[in-house]
Amino acid sequence: MAGDSLDKLMYSFVVEDVLKGFFIHVPPGYVACVYDMGRGVLKKVLTPGLHLKIPFWQKAKLFNTQTLEYSVNRQFNVELARALGDIPIAAITLDNKRVGVEGTILLRLDVHQVPSIWQTIGEDFVEKIVRPTIRSRVRMVFSRFNYQDIIGARRDEVEEQLKHELESIFYPRGIYVENVLLSEIQIISGNKE
């Protein structure tokens, strides 16, 4: 009996640790990058399907290449630093109104630049690049418009300028900005009238 348990344990080890170590399964909507201990991050991106790798020598990391929704709202949990989103962003308008900005930014990783993102920025690109850039650019663009223009007739223009500003920083880093959608812009108490 003890021999059967040991055989099952060894079989389980071989299947889980060795055989699965040979394969990388990439689901639809994702790509995989491979880190090779001898050559570093490989430039070739693995597309959806089953791929071979060298166990213990190569490590694979999956990256989502679908449209990602970066939500800025009150429900965001600031404890989750790697989560894709943020709390409302405080900004000052041209007419000196302090506002809280909520909305959604639709982003997508450039499949061909994913190895560069992993190599130069790392897995935590949201907290290093995305969140600080969005905060900064929202504040900058909102400072160009009066509050009534932002909530009224020029809202489309605000969204377009914000998209343009984000693209200028994200695109060279391999991140596409598909759209910027403002939802709520509320005056924060304490404004001087």
Over the Cα atoms of the chain, what is R_g? 23
Tokens of 71: 């939500």
pTM: 0.80
User: Which of 26, 49, 64 delimits the end of a domain?
Assistant: 64
* pLDDT higher than 70, residue 10: no
Mean pLDDT taken over the chain: 87
Residues 177 and 95 placed together within one structural domain of the fold: yes
Q: Are residues 76 and 159 in the same domain?
A: yes
Shared domain check, 73 and 60: no
- The H-or-E segment that residue 130 falls in is none
Shared-domain flag, residues 12 and 97: no
Which regions of 65-156 does DSSP assign to beta strands (E)? 68-72, 85-86, 89-92, 98-109
Residue 97 lies in a domain: yes
Is 122 inside a domain boundary? yes
Instruction: Identify the domain boundary among 30, 49, 64.
Output: 64
CATH number of the domain that residue 75 is part of = 3.30.479.30
157 and 113 share a domain?
yes
For residue 20, what pLDDT band results from cuts at 50, 70 and 90? low
Domain tally, the chain: 2
Q: What's the distance, CA 12 to chain centroid?
A: 36
In a domain, 155, yes or no: yes
Residues 39-90: tens digit of each pLDDT = 999 999 999 999 999 888 999 999 999 999 999 998 887 777 567 889 999 9
- Map residue 112 onto helix, strand or coil: helix
What is the Cβ-side half-sphere exposure of residue 28, based on CA atoms within 13 angstroms?
Answer: 0
Quick check: 158 pLDDT over 90?
A: yes
Q: Last residue of some domain: 42, 64, 86?
A: 64
What pLDDT score was predicted for residue 14? 45
- Residues paired with 35 in a beta bridge: 41, 59
Q: Distance between CA 89 and CA 11 in Å, rounded? A: 54
**What's the domain range around 136?**
68-187
65 near 71, Cβ under 8 Å? no
Residue 193 lies inside a defined structural domain of this protein: no
Give the model's pLDDT for residue 126.
Answer: 85
Tokens in use for 187?
A: 């005056």
pLDDT score at 81: 59
Beta carbons within 10 angstroms of residue 70's beta carbon: 21
